[in-house]
Amino acid sequence: MCKNEPCDGGLLQQGKYPKNAYKLADMAYDVISLLDALKVEKVHILGRSLGGVVAQIIVSDFQNE
């Protein structure tokens, strides 16, 4: 089991939105990059709240990875 936490340095919680904000696609790519680095070939993806949205992007955009 692997848990991924998006990194925004707490800026969003403080109401500060960086010019080049961390996008949903970036979060999905980070998960795929981690799985590639760990040489994981097959996974079950799930998420809750924001993680659910990221999971949907992973499933739709990276299904052939």
Give residue-wise pLDDT tens across range 54-63.
999 999 998 8
pLDDT at 53 over 80: yes
Separation of alpha carbons 47 and 42, rounded Å: 16
Instruction: Please report whether residue 39 resides in a domain.
Output: yes
Which two structure tokens, joined as six digits, stand for 2? 């692997």
Instruction: Please report whether residue 8 resides in a domain.
Output: no
The predicted-structure confidence for 1-32, as pLDDT tens digits, reads as follows 666 666 655 555 666 666 667 788 988 998 89
What number of other Cβ atoms are within 10 A of residue 58's Cβ?
Answer: 21
At 49 the pLDDT is 86
At 48 the pLDDT is 87
At 11 the pLDDT is 57
- Residue 32 main-chain phi, psi, to 5 deg: -60, -40
Instruction: Please report whether residue 17 resides in a domain.
Output: no
pTM: 0.72
Residue with tokens 């979060």: 27
Separation of alpha carbons 8 and 18, rounded Å: 9
Report how many domains make up the chain.
1
